[in-house]
Chain A
């Protein structure tokens, strides 16, 4: 079971994870991104390319399923205006084993960061606004999945 959504509305992390729990895999891993309020941030606005985004998120889930034995995956990304403390993204994966669930979850969030067409604009209490710059570390994290086997694959070889 896969769920891929881009939405303005908040999502219920507990309810989404419960859906994956019920698939019977035994291992559910998740990552929730929360808007940071540091530096006087009052609003984070997410712009995106709707058609491209939906296709990209589905492609990342397809890639993860091809790479790890998942029984389910959920990717939900918010768009529009968000306040500090609000959840902005949820990635969750279910598998029979923890390594696959954890690795697939990390893979998905790394891919989202550099290859999903979202742009973030920060607005601060003093009225200033700025677009968030892409970070080289995010590119490195995403690229590292192409260069090396996942931790689960490495463990399988070592056994």
Chain B
């Protein structure tokens, strides 16, 4: 099923687009797997996702750990740790 992927901050800059709608293969089951699969899409994706320790994610606007399953997700956001306030 197609899912909208959102990128923020330097992840967005390195990937080169703020969002994209994609259909991950069925063997991609969690956020970490999605990130690994996305890494193969372009050199920009590969650069943005080189160090998963610097990445955080949210599924349908709720923060999730990278091992969270993505089944049923409509929106998945990938970004650096937040720095508000």
Contacts and interface: CB of A to CB of B under 8 A. Distances in A.
B26 interface: no
B61 A52 contact: yes
Contacts of B6: 49
A89 interface: yes
Given A109-B85, A117-B58, A119-B8, A52 B80 contact: no
Contacts of B61: 49, 51-52, 55
Interface string A86-98: 0011000000000
A18 to B, nearest CB: 23
B84 A131 contact: no
A116 B10 contact: no
B9 interface: yes
Contacts of B82: 114-119, 134
Interface residues of A, number: 28
A116 B79 CA distance: 12
Contacts, number: 70
A120 interface: yes
A121 to B, nearest CB: 7
Interface residues on B, range: 10 to 19
A7 B8 CA distance: 18
Chain A interface secondary structure, helix, strand, loop or mixed? mixed
B85 A119 contact: no
A26 interface: no
A118 B85 CA distance: 8
A121 B83 CA distance: 10
A123 interface: no
B77 A120 contact: no
A115 B63 contact: yes
Interface of A: 33, 46-49, 51-52, 55, 77, 88-89, 109, 112-121, 131-135, 138
Interface of B: 6, 8-10, 12, 58, 61, 63, 77, 79-85
* 5 nearest A-B residue pairs (beta carbon): A118-B84, A134-B81, A119-B9, A113-B85, A116-B84
7 contacts: A33-B85, A49-B61, A51-B61, A55-B61, A112-B84, A116-B84, A132-B83
